[in-house]
Amino acid sequence: MVQGIRELEAKLAAIPPRVVKLTRKAMEKSAQELVDMMKRLVPTESGDLRDSIGWTWGDAPTGSFTIFQVRNSKAEEASYGALRITVFAGNKEAFYAHFVEFGTAPHNVSRGGGNKSFKGKPVPHPGARAQPFFYPAWRALRKRIQSRIKREMKKGIRFIGPDLPGDD
């Protein structure tokens, strides 16, 4: 008979919660780092857009523009719980987050001007150039974020002991 099977099973059973705990911490740190860089890069006039940038577990607040979302698969959610983090920008006051990120084409801003059957006097808008704040931040931090999360997951798998140091 093979000895040590029970001990091995106990160690294997402890891996998922440990990995999830460390992954959550790494995801939170990474999301905050991304948000901080986005806030430094976003153009500001009133500061409403800058102040609307944030992150949350789960879905973004109503009225915001979801910029980035990391989630695990449905099978992983069933086994280990949902690990879905969302980085967002915009709210009722700063509804224009995607206009700033991607820019706009020239368009008619008179009431009803977007309608093809419009017969009033057009009020042209020259459009707005893109002033990206998300994608430059994401490109600059992507490798660091991915490495941090992978490193913490591996740490959770390798750790041997009753509990992780510094855990609450």
Q: Please name every residue paired with 87 in a beta bridge, in sequence order, or none if there are none.
A: 55, 68
Is residue 148 very low, low, confident or very high in pLDDT (cuts 50, 70, 90)? Answer: very high
Residue 62 structure tokens: 């109503």
Which pLDDT does position 72 carry in this prediction?
Answer: 58
Q: Can you spell out the DSSP letters for 84-130?
A: -EEEEE--SS-TTHHHHHH-B--EE-STTTTSTT--S---EE--B--
166 falls within a domain: no
Contact present, 85 and 56 (Cβ < 8 Å): yes
Domain limits for position 88 = 25-111+122-158
Domain-embedded: residue 98 = yes
Count of the separate structural domains present in the chain: 1
pLDDT for residue 168: 47
Within a domain: 89 = yes
pLDDT given for residue 18 in this prediction = 81
Q: Is 130 a member of any domain?
A: yes
Q: Is the pLDDT of residue 140 over 90?
A: yes
In this prediction, residue 109 has a pLDDT band, given cuts at 50, 70 and 90, of: confident
Q: Which of 17-21, 32-36, 73-77 has the lowest mean pLDDT?
A: 73-77
Give a yes or no: residue 56 inside a domain. yes
H-only helix segments in the chain: 5-41, 48-52, 74-80, 97-102, 134-158
Q: For residue 35, is it within any domain?
A: yes
Residue 10 lies in a domain: no
Mean pLDDT confidence for 28-35: 96
Burial of 105 (0-12, 13-18, 19+ CB in 10 A): exposed
Residue 25 has pLDDT above 70, yes or no: yes
pLDDT tens-digit series, residues 55-97:
998 888 887 877 666 665 555 555 555 678 889 998 888 888 8
pTM recorded for the entire structure: 0.75
The answer to whether 56 and 34 have CB atoms below 8 angstroms apart is no
In terms of C-beta distances under 8 Å and separation of at least 24 residues, what long-range contacts does 32-40 make, across chains too? 33/141, 33/144, 33/145, 34/68, 34/87, 34/137, 34/138, 34/141, 34/145, 35/87, 37/137, 37/140, 37/141, 38/67, 38/87, 38/89, 38/133, 38/134, 38/137
12 lies in some domain = no
